[in-house]
Structure 1
């Protein structure tokens, strides 16, 4: 069970700003949306049903224990995915906004779903993983997050405080002292089969200084809120689906899948 941080809550970023500093001046419509999001974020803090810590006690979310029980089956499906690890995309190749914190193949992803999009091809490869994810209320994104040896994700903040994040440790190499994640002022070191839930709207960073690959199941889900925060959160998350940031990411994912599975078919036919 991870410790709970006591750092003050930072102001969140708007949709599509994975780094702390924007690369370019946003358009007028984006600036308007940023202003709206900033106001909704303040409301979310007051409407939270689960408080606003950096790390959560997983007992707050009873379904987390159910996800942990499924980890052997999820790990088995991951092993099959990793057979073609070199062909998996760098996170920045799917979500260009991630280029503010990673621009190489040291952080890879295998997406199952995100913001209403479901990768039917990838889900067919991981049916047990997908079934486990269905136990998570308010599921937004689900993927494998692959951190290669020596990779460091520098301090950054997530896009919006209306969602929370779960990591389920799947492959956690030794020595564990050489890898981990810091959220606000608290560090956590993954354990295989253990779930950790945190708020990525706090500044956070992650690192893998071991000689081996680290993999977690990476899930974003809707933060439990009271009305009116719940309604405005629902509205913003649905608006996000139509933003250029999300649409570009989905297009990149579809293009990558087309190449990936075409190559797999070619290999089977040879």
Structure 2
């Protein structure tokens, strides 16, 4: 049985900036076209879906989630090592300008293993068993440890595409779980350690951690099971997103964060 001592993660850090649309760079024409076509693509994918188009899925609806649940303590051990110094883990608002409208500065941090099929080789090497388990997730799009420190609130928002669904594996959940929860449409959900929660993030949702403990989940985005039309349309749309500024800025942001940390650590 793994050590159940809560991960020792500092409360954080750089919390002076509130989420704001004003912090998001001006959207280029190609991304504005993407936003126009997005709901039309989502309707086609929804009609082609081989699973119900619902906000939250019953536990066990996707067989592969059992693999993560059976190995959650191994994943938790790797998360504990990777996240032992939270200052080394970039805030999402820092690396991804497009998340600044919803991400409280310094309080929502993301340790990426895979992002839109781009592997972070350094982080994958640090979490080899987790990476191996993720390779068995059908249609894996992204995977990262999502960290919310105490007092964090992520306002209501919607995701990018119905081409994928989102799974949260509870890694560390505050003891007062009713103070740390997520709303999807009209349903409030609480995480459980070692248990997967699957939902469609295109539905309106928000997150709050009003407890005095840090919440950590392994967030996994995977392709929705669809028919031929949904597969073609969804794949083309996701490939466009993968190549877009939205994703490329985040990749560059991770590298800038690492470069800055390396410079700070270098002797003068």
TM-score class, shorter? 0.7 to 0.9
1:78 matched to 2:82? The reply is no
Quick one: distance in 2 between partners of 1:110 and 1:176?
Answer: 23
- Provide the alpha-carbon RMSD of the alignment: 2.3
1:216 matched to 2:207? The reply is no
What is residue 208 of structure 2 aligned with on the other side? 207
What is residue 111 of structure 2 aligned with on the other side? 110
Give the direction of change, closer, same or farther, for the CA distance of 1:83–1:26 in structure 2 (3 Å limit).
Answer: closer
| Structure 1 runs not aligned, ≥5 long | 1-17
What is residue 131 of structure 1 aligned with on the other side? 132
Cα deviation digits, residues 116-163 of structure 1 (max 9, x gap): 311111111101111111121111111000000011111111122211
What is residue 9 of structure 1 aligned with on the other side? none
Normalising by structure 2, report the TM-score. Answer: 0.86
Cα deviation digits, residues 71-113 of structure 1 (max 9, x gap): 0001001111222112211111121111011231111111111
Instruction: State the shift of 1:32 in Å.
Output: 2.5
CA contact (8 A) 2:107 2:148 kept: yes
Give the count of matched residue pairs.
Answer: 249
Q: What SS does the aligned partner of 1:50 have?
A: coil
Give the direction of change, closer, same or farther, for the CA distance of 1:42–1:215 in structure 2 (3 Å limit).
Answer: same
Quick one: distance in 2 between partners of 1:196 and 1:21?
Answer: 32
What is residue 161 of structure 1 aligned with on the other side? 162
What is residue 6 of structure 2 aligned with on the other side? none
Give the direction of change, closer, same or farther, for the CA distance of 1:128–1:139 in structure 2 (3 Å limit).
Answer: same
Quick one: distance in 1 between partners of 2:25 and 2:150?
Answer: 31
What is residue 10 of structure 2 aligned with on the other side? none
Deviates more, 1:68-77 or 1:234-243: 234-243
Quick one: distance in 2 between partners of 1:23 and 1:259?
Answer: 22
CA contact (8 A) 1:88 1:108 kept: yes
| Structure 2 runs not aligned, ≥5 long | 1-18
Quick one: distance in 2 between partners of 1:27 and 1:95?
Answer: 15
**1:237-252 aligned within 5 A:** 237-252=238-253
CA contact (8 A) 2:170 2:193 kept: yes
What is residue 8 of structure 2 aligned with on the other side? none
What is residue 54 of structure 2 aligned with on the other side? 53
What is residue 65 of structure 2 aligned with on the other side? 64
